[in-house]
Homo-oligomer: A and B are copies of this chain.
Amino acid sequence: MIRPAVPAAAVRQGSLRELNLAVVLGRIAAAPHPPSRADVATATGLTRATVSAVVDDLVAGRLVGESEPAPRTGAGRPARGLVLAGNGPAGLGLEINVDYLAACVVDLAGGVRHHTVRRADLRPVSPADTLARLVGLADAARADAERQGLTLAGAALAVPGLVDAAGLVRLAPNLGWRDVPVPELLSGHPPMVEPVPGIPPLVVENEANLAALGELHAGPDGPVSFLHVSGEVGIGAGIVLDGALFRGVRGWSGEIGHIPVQPEGRPCRCGGRGCLERYAGQEAVLAAAGLDRADLPADTAAARLADLALAEHPATRAALAEAGQALGVAVACVVNLLDLDTVVLGGGYALLTPWLRPPLLAEVSRLVLTAGWSPVTVRPSALGPEAAVVGAAGSVVRRIVADPVGWLNRTG
Contacts and interface: CB of A to CB of B under 8 A. Distances in A.
Contact of A6 (B22, B264, B270, B374): B22
Interface string A198-237: 0000000000000000001101100001000000000001
Contacts of A341: 249-250
B401 A338 contact: no
Contacts of A402: 4-6
Contact of A4 (B2, B255, B336, B398): B398
Contacts of A11: 11
A131 B91 CA distance: 59
Contact of A251 (B261, B339, B366): B339
A367 B258 contact: yes
A370 interface: yes
Contacts of A412: none
Interface in A225-273: 225, 237, 239, 241, 243, 246-256, 258-264, 270-272
A122 interface: no
A6 B23 contact: yes
Interface residues of A, number: 83
Given A43-B9, A259-B336, A373-B170, A2 B253 contact: no
B337 A255 contact: yes
Interface in A158-189: 162, 170-171, 173
B338 A248 contact: yes
Given A250-B370, A251-B339, A258-B336, A2 B29 contact: yes
A334 interface: yes
A370 B3 contact: no
Interface string A2-16: 111111011100000
Contact of A270 (B29, B271, B369, B373): B369
A110 to B, nearest CB: 5
Interface in A1-58: 1-7, 9-11, 22-23, 25-27, 29-30, 32, 43-46
A256 B337 CA distance: 6
Contacts of A373: 170
Contact of A2 (B3, B44, B110, B259): B110
A224 to B, nearest CB: 9
A394 interface: yes
A171 B333 CA distance: 18
A73 to B, nearest CB: 22
Contacts of A170: 370, 373
B10 A29 contact: no
B249 A225 contact: yes
Nearest to A5: B402
Interface in A366-409: 366-370, 373-374, 394, 397-399, 401-402
Contacts of A2: 29, 84, 108-110, 217, 394, 397-398, 401
A338 B246 contact: yes
A175 to B, nearest CB: 14
Interface of A: 1-7, 9-11, 22-23, 25-27, 29-30, 32, 43-46, 84, 108-110, 162, 170-171, 173, 216-217, 219-220, 225, 237, 239, 241, 243, 246-256, 258-264, 270-272, 329, 332-334, 336-341, 366-370, 373-374, 394, 397-399, 401-402
14 contacts: A3-B216, A3-B398, A5-B399, A6-B402, A11-B11, A225-B249, A237-B337, A239-B337, A250-B370, A252-B374, A255-B369, A260-B261, A270-B367, A270-B369
- Going nearest first, the 3 A-B pairs with the smallest beta carbon separation are A248-B339, A6-B26, A255-B336
